[in-house]
Chains A and B, each alone.
Chain A
Amino acid sequence: MSMSTTKLNAENHLLLDQPLLRLPHELLRKNFKTAQRYFEREQKELKDGIHNVAKDALAGASPEDSLASLDSMINRMQGFKRKLEGLHDEEKTLHEHSRKRIAHLQDLYSIPSLVDESYDKWSRTRLDRLLVDFLLRSGYGNSARQLAEEKGIQDLVDVDVFIQCSRIEASLRNRNVSECLAWCGENKSSLKKINSTLEFELRMQQFIELVRDHRHREATAYSKKFLAPQGDKHLDDIMKAAALLAFMPTTKCQPYKDMYSSKRWEFLATTFVNTHHTLYGLPSRPLLHIALSAGLSALKTPSCHSSIATSSNASTTTSLCPICSTELNDLARNVPYAHHVRSSVDPDPVVLPNNRIHGREKLEEFAVKLGLPAGRIRDPTTGDEWDNTTLRKVFIM
């Protein structure tokens, strides 16, 4: 027999599931950073406020003035509190997602083996998750949402995150940078940490559009404001941008032709999606691709795309190979097949007069099911019938 296993190593098995916990964690961090930003601002405001009101009081301001100042401080703080409460609600949702996801992964640890029924169930949920992930990445938000709802896995998938991502991606394809710039603003510190050039590229595009419109004066002002501060990192690009002023949008001269090209929007959209996924710890490819390319190879045999039919689906004694099935056959055409070091055939192999090899027991079992007269056998693949005296033993080492 070829190598087979029923052992489930949960730790290793969770390779595909890292983003499940990473994403809510990243969102929690982002949520917290927003809270922190608010706090920095409010703490300064309040300290200054108290300081000023004290100073004014000493300088002889009326109690009414003090009261008015205090009222405005109270108002501000109440606004701050409301914002925090909003963030706290978001935090609770994210904690709840994390809890459900940890429990889902934890379930795997209590499954005794790969052949246990509970593993089957777990693996089906995993497939549903991978499908939703794929649908979201492909921009099929409605399908994704519907499947998640039908399967009751809304807490295990991140529909909203991907929908926001698709929306910004689409806005870039529609030649609009404002949404994406706002996103960059929200994630400023994380983007800095991964040395992202996304914001610079967006600013550059804005500049190019101004030049394209012959608004050179505005373009120059824009570049002073948004490009020049990045001089230490992007000096080359900034020089190119400056030179762009001398070229018409119709130029054939490189690199200015490319800078004017509409393909640059495509580039921005892809850069945004990649940056987005990196930031949230999401793999660049759909998880379904990763699982499927591994799975197709692990299952594929040289017979799966052979022109000679093998006994895969002609009788009840065997079940159809998933790689040979319509769904996957073409898809698996270009993946490598599995490596085997030992043969694996039905016990007691015999060769039929048509040179096809089957297990003797299987043939006999099939003959009974067919109700053939005693001593007759039928090739399950081709349907030819013979006397069982024509069978010859073969040796598969």
Chain B
Amino acid sequence: MESIEKEYERLRKKSNLSKSISDVDKCIQLLQNARQAIANDPSSARVSIAKLQQTVPAALEKIKDDEKEIYSGLSRYGRALDKTFKATTTYSTNDYDALSSQSDLIKRAIAMHLIREGQFAAASTFREEAGPIDIPPHLTTEFVEMYEILNAMRIHRNLGPAIAWARSKSTELDHRGSNLEFDLCRLQFVWLFLEQDGQMRAFHYARKELKQFQEKHLDEIEKLLGAFAFQTRLKSSPYAPLFADPEKCFNDVANAFTKEFCSLLGLSAESPLYIAATAGAIALPTLMKMAAIMKDKKTGWSTVNELPAEIALPPGYQFHSIFVCPVSKDQTTESNPPMMLPCGHVIAQESLQRLAKGSAVTIKCPYCPKESSLAQAIRVVI
């Protein structure tokens, strides 16, 4: 990148047309001077023109030099690009592309991405231009609502709409083990409490709204109310951490709200398109290296279903448990599921069957001395 920057600076400062233009101007000046001289004194015409025969070619030569400078600047910048991107020309030409034939699905993914990111105007232009796209009905309405609630929370510090939403979905949220409603109400209490002369209102709020959470959150409610005893010197009280950083609380609660809202729609909290494109950019160097190696050795990879090498992604990019059979080193699949032996060790079904070959009666666990029969192995879901 440094050489690109350096060559770019050179290009911008030196290799541009401004010098050519001023040299063309000088050339025009020569012609105009000659014209002026002839107009003033017609008898000098021959002399003036003879002079032009000397000066104009020299001026043109200068313009040519200016062009050479631009040309060399462009070439040098081009070479700097070549150097930085040298390894990268191959990927676009390879034919490993399962997506070209799926443009409808890609369009759907994009439309849903734009909607969930709140780009409603772009999304609707896109749907006008791209024709019918099969996206879940009401998706736009849902996300419009979500952004209204989020904006109320983030911009106006108004938790009301979020609390109302959580309350209307309390059964589903409870089922997921989500405490969103309580978290929202608790933040409302904290926010009131921190307002100028807000303690009285916070007190009333607690009596009215926090009571319903007693059963599950009594401890936390007691802590919140304990703050009243220290309201004049809250910062040095044991309750300080609860009230320390309401900005962060708003942010956390907004994220939790987004996650729950999307989950109830059956969607992930982050845009899948964003996660996948980011993972793809992280994976590409490895994939390309692999492609180059395989091209070199003229080999393909044995299983078309599986990438030929492991790709390292940041933590947080793993969404499922992974089970790799310790015997065969294969990942288990629906057709080759994980099986648990009575001793609690898990191996893949195919490995188990291979172990059972020969002795139909007992299998010895590969990892402990325990023996069992094939029928005792249980299919598990990891």
Query: Taking beta carbons and an 8 Å cutoff, which residues of A are in contact with B?
Result: 2-6, 9-16, 18, 21-22, 25, 28-29, 32, 35-36, 39, 43, 46-47, 50-51, 53-54, 57-58, 63-64, 66-67, 70-71, 73-74, 77-78, 80-81, 84-85, 87-88, 91-92, 95, 98-99, 102, 105-106, 109, 114-115, 123-124, 126-127, 130-131, 134-135, 138, 140-143, 146-147, 150, 283-285, 288-299, 301-304, 306-308, 310, 312-328, 330-331, 334-346, 351, 355-357, 366, 369-371, 380, 383, 392-397
- Check B378 against A78 for contact (C-beta < 8 Å): no
Look across to chain B and name the residue whose beta carbon is closest to the beta carbon of A359.
Answer: B321
Contact of A70 among B1, B35, B109, B174 (CB under 8 A): B35
- Check B121 against A140 for contact (C-beta < 8 Å): no
B97: min CB distance to chain A, Å: 6
B165: min CB distance to chain A, Å: 16
- Check A134 against B306 for contact (C-beta < 8 Å): no
Q: CB of B231 within 8 A of chain A?
A: no
- A366 — which chain B residues lie within 8 A by C-beta? 177
List, sorted by A's number, 23 A–B pairs whose CB atoms are closer than 8 Å: A4-B315, A18-B88, A47-B60, A67-B39, A77-B28, A77-B31, A81-B25, A84-B21, A102-B1, A140-B126, A146-B125, A150-B119, A283-B91, A289-B99, A292-B273, A298-B280, A298-B307, A299-B317, A320-B267, A328-B272, A337-B306, A344-B322, A345-B323
Interface of B is mostly: helix
- Check B71 against A32 for contact (C-beta < 8 Å): yes
Q: CB of B156 within 8 A of chain A?
A: no
- A325 — which chain B residues lie within 8 A by C-beta? 266-268, 272
Look across to chain B and name the residue whose beta carbon is closest to the beta carbon of A3.
Answer: B312
- Check B18 against A50 for contact (C-beta < 8 Å): no
- B272 — which chain A residues lie within 8 A by C-beta? 322-323, 325, 327-328
- B113 — which chain A residues lie within 8 A by C-beta? 131, 327
Question: Contacts A291-B284, A335-B98 hold; do A342 and B81 have CB atoms under 8 A apart?
Answer: no
Q: CB of B287 within 8 A of chain A?
A: yes
List 10 additional A-B contacts (Cβ < 8 Å) besides A115-B314, A298-B311: A9-B285, A18-B85, A36-B67, A114-B282, A143-B126, A294-B283, A316-B178, A327-B271, A328-B109, A351-B340
Question: Contacts A4-B318, A143-B126, A314-B176 hold; do A123 and B278 have CB atoms under 8 A apart?
Answer: yes
- Check A25 against B45 for contact (C-beta < 8 Å): no
Contact of B334 among A284, A288, A307 (CB under 8 A): A307
Q: CB of B16 within 8 A of chain A?
A: yes
Query: Taking beta carbons and an 8 Å cutoff, which residues of B are in contact with A?
Result: 1, 4-5, 8, 11-12, 16-18, 20-21, 24-25, 27-28, 31-32, 34-35, 38-39, 42-43, 45-46, 49-50, 52-53, 56-57, 60, 63-64, 67, 70-71, 74, 77-78, 81, 84-85, 88-89, 91-93, 96-100, 102-103, 105-106, 108-110, 112-114, 119, 121-122, 125-126, 128-130, 136, 174-179, 215-216, 259-260, 262-263, 266-285, 287-288, 303-324, 326, 329, 331-334, 340, 343-346, 367, 378-382
- Check A337 against B307 for contact (C-beta < 8 Å): yes
- B31 — which chain A residues lie within 8 A by C-beta? 70, 73-74, 77
Look across to chain A and name the residue whose beta carbon is closest to the beta carbon of B326.
Answer: A397
Give CA–CA (A64, B39) in the complex, Å: 8
- B60 — which chain A residues lie within 8 A by C-beta? 43, 46-47
- Check A32 against B74 for contact (C-beta < 8 Å): yes
Give CA–CA (A13, B280) in the complex, Å: 10
- Check A25 against B78 for contact (C-beta < 8 Å): yes
- Check B97 against A321 for contact (C-beta < 8 Å): no
- A308 — which chain B residues lie within 8 A by C-beta? 334, 381
- Check A98 against B8 for contact (C-beta < 8 Å): yes
- Check A77 against B102 for contact (C-beta < 8 Å): no
Contact of A294 among B21, B284, B308, B344 (CB under 8 A): B284
- B266 — which chain A residues lie within 8 A by C-beta? 313, 320, 325-326
Look across to chain A and name the residue whose beta carbon is closest to the beta carbon of B17.
Answer: A88
Question: Contacts A66-B45, A294-B287, A369-B178 hold; do A355 and B329 have CB atoms under 8 A apart?
Answer: no
Look across to chain B and name the residue whose beta carbon is closest to the beta carbon of A114.
Answer: B314
Give CA–CA (A366, B276) in the complex, Å: 28
Look across to chain B and name the residue whose beta carbon is closest to the beta carbon of A322.
Answer: B272
- Check A346 against B321 for contact (C-beta < 8 Å): yes
A151: min CB distance to chain B, Å: 8
- B288 — which chain A residues lie within 8 A by C-beta? 15
Give CA–CA (A29, B15) in the complex, Å: 12
Give CA–CA (A346, B319) in the complex, Å: 11
Question: Contacts A295-B279, A301-B320, A316-B178 hold; do A138 and B96 have CB atoms under 8 A apart?
Answer: no
- Check B311 against A339 for contact (C-beta < 8 Å): yes
- B18 — which chain A residues lie within 8 A by C-beta? 88
